[in-house]
Amino acid sequence: MGSSILELVHINNYVMLAAILFAIGVMGVMFRRNTIIIFMCIELMLNAVNLLLVAFSTMHSDPGGQVMVFFIMAVAAAEVAVGLAILVMIYRNVKSVDIDILNKLKW
């Protein structure tokens, strides 16, 4: 077997990459008004965390982290199915995916 990637690339690089991806996701949530794109940015944040979990799991040779990522993916799939159903329902009622229209629960 070849040497592990973590012996060539320091774990800090993975931490930075995950932090950047997470920050892009947070920025996207605030930047856009299209609800579907906001949803996609949330997926991006989930993936940044998943990447970090896998990196640390490899670093410590602990399969628990990768099992956790597996469950996060399962929950994300369920979340997307229900969330997109809600979005389609909202679109059917108000004919828009603009998040600023959906402010009835805000105040």
Partner 1 sequence: MSKIAFFVLAFLSIFSAMMVVFSRKPVHSVLSLIFCFFTIAGHYILLNAQFLAAVHIIVYAGAIMVLFLFVIMLLNLNAESEPHKTSAGKIAAVVSGGLLLLVLVSVLKSTDGLQLSAAPDSQVGMVKNLGMVLYDKYMLPFEVSALLFLTAMIGATMIGKKELD
Residues 55-84 that bind partner 1 (CB under 8 A): 55, 57-64, 66-67, 69-71, 73-82, 84
Helix axes 35-59, 63-94, angle to 10 degrees: 180
How many Cα atoms occupy the beta-carbon half-sphere of 10 within 13 Å? 3
Closest distance to partner 1 from the beta carbon of 104 (Å): 17
Total residues at the site for partner 1 (CB under 8 A)?
78
> Among residues 1 and 104, whose Cβ is nearest to partner 1?
1
Asked if 49 interacts with partner 1 (CB under 8 A), we say: no
